[in-house]
Structure 1
Amino acid sequence: MKKFHGTGVALVTPFNADGSVDYDGLRKLINYLIDGKVEYLVSLGTTGEASTLNKDEKKKIWEFTAEVNSGRLPLVAGIGGNDTAAIAEDVKNFKVAGYEAILSASPYYNKPAQEGIYQHYKAISEQSELPLLLYNVPGRTASNISAETTCRLAEDFKNIIGIKEASGNFDQFNQIMRDKPGDFLLISGDDPVALPMISLGAVGVISVIGNALPTQLSAMIRLCLEGRFAEAVPLHLELVGFTRLMFNEGNPAGVKAALEYLGICGDSLRLPLVKVSPGLKREIITATNKITAD
């Protein structure tokens, strides 16, 4: 699964001012990221505002993304939720050409026990024709996939190939690296901790800030994967402040403000998400200009 080493970008979904999907902006974004030398693209994860899109919109976005990408980079489709039967059916029926894996966030809101999380992914795994990446993001789901459950799933289902880990818990990262099968992928789900996670053995990041700064981020991640941490640290530290701005008023509002400044797409979102405040937008523009000018 070397194709999922390096920098993956969780694509934003550009919207027009009237709330419709901005396909011209999505085309520009995909080409911008490919030119920025990222390794793969994730369509309709959390950053893509998937929860505000209906099934027809999702299918059209997946198809459009594959068409524009035209085989240039590996593609991952985000399919998650808190109704196991519905997600398993969606995964079973996912027939969009050009995708090489599915990323599925753990169930949100209903807070299942670890056995429930295991059975949830078991049901999905049994229906999927594509490899699966688990996604642990307790800050959004209100439940954690424990290291024990992650490694149990990795051992029991060969099509579960890795996890996007966004718990921020380094003890958990250590346990996963110690106990996982050798070919199971640990991927950072948080931009600021990608560097230290790679030092533990993670294979890269699925990034938010990579939407705006693909060249800078992917260069830093490649240095880390080559073991050149002394060279990577200054780049990492420069990006940490930028990342903080991206999340000050929620994701993906911050990165969409940066993308608007860069001329890639607008900064519109679908409710309940709203644009960043004018003051934060000025800070984001200043930071984006500084990093891209260096």
Structure 2
Amino acid sequence: MIAVEIGLRAVGVLVAFLTLPLLVGQAEHKVMAHMQGRLGPMYAGGFHGWAQLVADGVKFLQKEDVVPARADATVFRLAPAVALVPYLVALAVIPLSPDWVAADVDAGLLFVLAAAAVGVLGTLMAGWSSANKYALLGSMRAAAQLLAYELPLVLAAASVAMAAGTLSLTGIGEAWRWWWLVWQAPALLVFLIAGLAEVQRPPFDMPIADSELVAGPYTEYTGLRFALFLLSEYAGIVVLSALVAVLFLGGWHGPLVNGPGWTLLKAGLVAIVVIWLRVAWPRLREDQLQRLAWAGLVPIALAQLALTAVVVVLRS
């Protein structure tokens, strides 16, 4: 029975991993279209172009898989998997509710942050192995961005963990109270901004910067491997949105009844905010990215951490 339960949980995580990023991708097509006063995909699948991403996937499958002659072929081929798989691992420990979690790890917060950070290595591998100057520049920008924004991300998460008195994501969700929306608001802002930079979403997409670097680390990728990098971006949005929902928005806590539907709803709203930021904000320059991290987010996160420590000591 234990083996069957583990198998069912693994299948559930896999199904969520294969569907939620596609839903985010479809939402991006339609939400951006409405924000910009256009229709977006309308034909693939019939009703409002619901199968557009499926059609895109079929298109990528038909394209030739090209490996540059001077590339490090082994690293080049492994990079998409290194970028994608960590998000699958991270999803396994994010709870939709105390009963809806594939693996309830005691230090789940540390586990998710560590797994998500590994995904960036795929971008670095892609840029270095491509033997392309634009790809290499993009990967170096990604490395600098990772170093700058990992610190405020961890500090903001540490504030919530300190407030809850646990590193368990389920425990943090159970300890959440509505007034945390005010108390932990600075940590929420820092976490969301740093998370966007971690997944290299606009306005933090300098590593890709198509107007300067073609496609950054992904310039030499074609076919299914390029599609895997796109999927990893949407998977990163899913993980970021779910984390924000559980850590800062109460997860499964709702006005009338508690349940996993609230976590999904809150994560969906966060994902729409991520999409809105792509439409509303221009790309930041590299110097602006670094200044925001070190001169803006880190001091705010440290101040929030100190405030949380004071409140916890006074409350105990």
Normalised to the residue count of structure 1, the TM-score between the two structures is 0.27
Instruction: Answer 1 or 2: which has greater helix percent.
Output: 2
Instruction: Answer 1 or 2: which has greater strand percent.
Output: 1
Larger radius of gyration: 2
- Greater relative CO, 1 or 2 (CA 8 Å, sep 6+): 2
Normalised to the residue count of structure 2, the TM-score between the two structures is 0.26
